[in-house]
Amino acid sequence: MAFVGDIPADYDGSEYPDAEPSTRFAAVPDGFERLWTPHRISYIQDGQMPDADECPFCLAPGMSDEDALIVARGEHAYVLLNLFPYNSGHLLVCPYRHISTYDLASAEEVAEIGELTQIAMRVLSATAHAHGFNIGMNQGRIAGAGIAEHLHQHIVPRWALDANFFPIIARTKPLPRLLGEVRAEIAAAWPSRVE
């Protein structure tokens, strides 16, 4: 029996009278599931980037650490959890200033981004027992930056067994822990700054 979509091509309509074979749809199925995320419309409209007064990385420092998912604050930069993590504990290091690329960062910002990155790696090694890390910056929309107007560095903890079939088969990334729980654990383990 040949199938078109989820309905047999020779289906007579008797069992599911409201069902329609996908061959009658306006588009050809592409194998992707759809996850409706209307809250991300600000990234799609107006060139995909929010206005400076709506930039989530500019707004976050004005919120409570819990609400903004901030784990640590420095003088020139801060660390927060990625709202759409690749893995549990996926952190972002952001300068407070609204700058778009690394070459615009001051020497102080560069130094603190580096220091916060090192601390984040130590904390994630201790709390999450990470086996390795992916660290990087996507600068510019063409390079894959989700928010290209505000510089941010990704720190993604990795484990030997963190890859599985789910993202490939279901196009879904399973995350074993809630963001608030992960934020609290990392923030509690973050060392106090000594000046």
The list of the chain residues with pLDDT below 70 reads 1-53, 163-176, 193-195
What are the structural domains, with CATH classification, of the chain? 38-189 (3.30.428.10)
- Catalytic member of 76, 150, 152, 154: 152
Question: In which element (H, E) is residue 183 found?
Answer: helix 179-189
Tokens at 179, concatenated: 């963001």
C-alpha 81 chain-centroid distance = 8
131 is catalytic: no
pLDDT tens per residue, range 136-153 = 999 888 888 888 899 999
- Write down the mean pLDDT value for the chain: 79
**Residue 170, pLDDT score:** 53
